[in-house]
Amino acid sequence: MSNVKDMRIFAAEQIEVPDLFPGILKNFIKEVIRRQPQEQDQVSFSRQYFEDLLKERGYFDAPVREKVEFTTKEFYLSHQLKFKETYKMGETIGYGGLSTSRKCYHRLTGEVRAVKVTKKEDLEYGERQKLLEQIEILKELDHPSICRVIDIFEDKKKFYFVQEYLSGGGLFNSMITNVGFTENASAQILKQVLSAVAYLHSKKIAHRDIHPENILFESNDALNVKLLDFGNSRRMGENEAMHGVYGTAYYVAPEVLVGNYTEKCDLWSVGIILYMLLSGKPPFNGTSDVQILEEVRKGQYEITGGAWDQISDSAKDLVTKMLTSDP
């Protein structure tokens, strides 16, 4: 058994451990390997064996399946060609907590694309589950205002999400350089974002991390934007409420902070973006995330004076409607 990481993830699936387990699972699997060192593709363990091991580490109630089997082979989604055979890797265009985005070039056509690369070793069990869930969601998405994922590769060490390359830069940068878009430009951008969000919600998908760095301009010469980054997105059941706290301080909805919310939390985030497009400032501000979140909880913001004097009542009315907790 050479692949400790994959065994760890597979073991986690088999034991149905809660998310807080993966830290201990790593050591735990190493120990399994130490005790059972044969190099073979398939190894089975009894439930008792796992329960004993877990108990030794102070976990008494973990549900373990009858029989725990590892196969190293079944971890890899099959793919005819490897990423590197199909694309030439280019320069880095973005860093995130779990992944790096880079430009890449199709070897046959020369077409420029973007690829988001995630190292498996950086993923804890819960994160890997989220990534697999994300793949299922991405496969289903097809909308003009959502960045298209063209291909997904997986090899021993990494996942590669190949996407269309959006050359116009992030909405965030444009906000900083433009300081207040015109009402007309704001409306054009908002319409596209809302259409993407409506599409997602019609499929019962919540994005949960809408902010201006996840909205990119398709090119420099028009206001066409696309939403991307489905790293926190989630497919919901009928009438299901969500509880996990995700998002980015300035844009997170108050009901998310309370830990009981629906896909409507995305509309709040879009409302914040609209507020910022029109006025050039965030409605809830502070010098730290804690302070910003405190303001979000209070929910009080200014929509008069300064830039707002030039803005139409209907635009203000829309901002107010969107910045309503659980609209």
Ligand X SMILES: Nc1ncnc2c1ncn2[C@@H]1O[C@H](COP(=O)(O)OP(=O)(O)O)[C@@H](O)[C@H]1O
For ligand X, which residue of 99, 145, 174, 186 counts as binding (CB under 6 A)? Answer: 99
Please choose, out of 92-100, 235-243, 279-287, 290-298, the segment that lies near ligand X by the rule CB under 6 A.
Answer: 92-100
Q: Which does 166 bind (CB under 5 to 8 A by kind): ligand X, Mg ion, none?
A: ligand X
Closer CB to ligand X, residue 99 or residue 279? 99
- The reply on whether position 144 binds ligand X by CB under 6 A is no
CB of 216 to Mg ion, least distance (A): 10
Residues in the chain: 327
Site for Mg ion contains 14 (CB under 5 A): no
Residue nearest to Mg ion (CB): 229
Task: Determine, following the binding rule CB under 6 A, whether residue 216 of this chain makes contact with ligand X.
Answer: yes
Among 17, 64, 68, 166, indicate the residue that binds ligand X (CB under 6 A): 166
Q: Please report whether residue 102 would count as binding ligand X according to CB under 6 A.
A: no
Segment lying near ligand X (by CB under 6 A), choices 33-41, 50-58, 200-208, 211-219: 211-219
249 binds Mg ion (CB under 5 A): no
Contact by Cβ (8 Å): 217, 166: yes
Residue placing its CB nearer to Mg ion in the complex, 231 or 271: 231
Residue type, 315: A
Residue pair 168/216 in contact (Cβ under 8 Å)? The answer is yes
| Contact with ligand X (CB under 6 A) among 18, 90, 94, 286 | 94
Q: How many Cβ atoms are within 10 Å of 92's Cβ, its own excluded? A: 11
Residue 134, interface with Mg ion (CB under 5 A)?
no
Report residue 145 as tokens.
Answer: 């205002």
Which residues touch 97 (CB under 8 Å, ≥6 apart)? none
Q: Answer yes or no whether residue 116 interacts with ligand X by CB under 6 A.
A: yes
Q: From the CB of residue 271, how many other CB atoms can be counted at a distance below 10 Å?
A: 23
Q: Under the criterion CB under 5 A, does residue 214 sit at the interface with Mg ion? A: yes
By CB under 6 A, residue 155 contacts ligand X: no
Does residue 170 interact with ligand X by CB under 6 A? yes
- Amino acid at position 192, single letter: Q
Closest residue to ligand X, judged by C-beta, is: 96
Strand partners, 256: none
Cα(207)–Cα(230) distance, rounded to whole angstroms? 6
Q: By CB under 5 A, is residue 263 in contact with Mg ion? A: no
- Token readout for 126 is 């819960």
Q: Which residue has the tokens 């997170």?
A: 252
CA–CA separation, 54 and 60 (whole Å): 7
Is residue 231 part of the contact set for ligand X (CB under 6 A)? yes
Give the CA count within 13 Å in the CB-facing half-sphere of 162: 19
* Residue (229 or 266) nearer to ligand X, CB: 229
Residue 174's alpha-carbon distances to 102, 135, 169, 287, in angstroms, are 21, 29, 8, 22
Q: Return d(Cα 67, Cα 49) in angstroms, integer.
A: 9
- DSSP letter string, 58-91: T-------SEEEEESGGGSPP-SS-HHHHEEEEE
Catalytic amino acids? 209
Closest CB to ligand X among 127 and 155? 127
Q: Which is nearer to ligand X, 68 or 210 (CB)?
A: 210
7 binds ligand X (CB under 6 A): no
What pairs with residue 67 in β-bridges? Answer: 46
Binding partner of residue 216 among Mg ion, ligand X, none, CB cut-off 5 to 8 Å per kind: ligand X
Residues that bind Mg ion (CB under 5 A): 214, 229
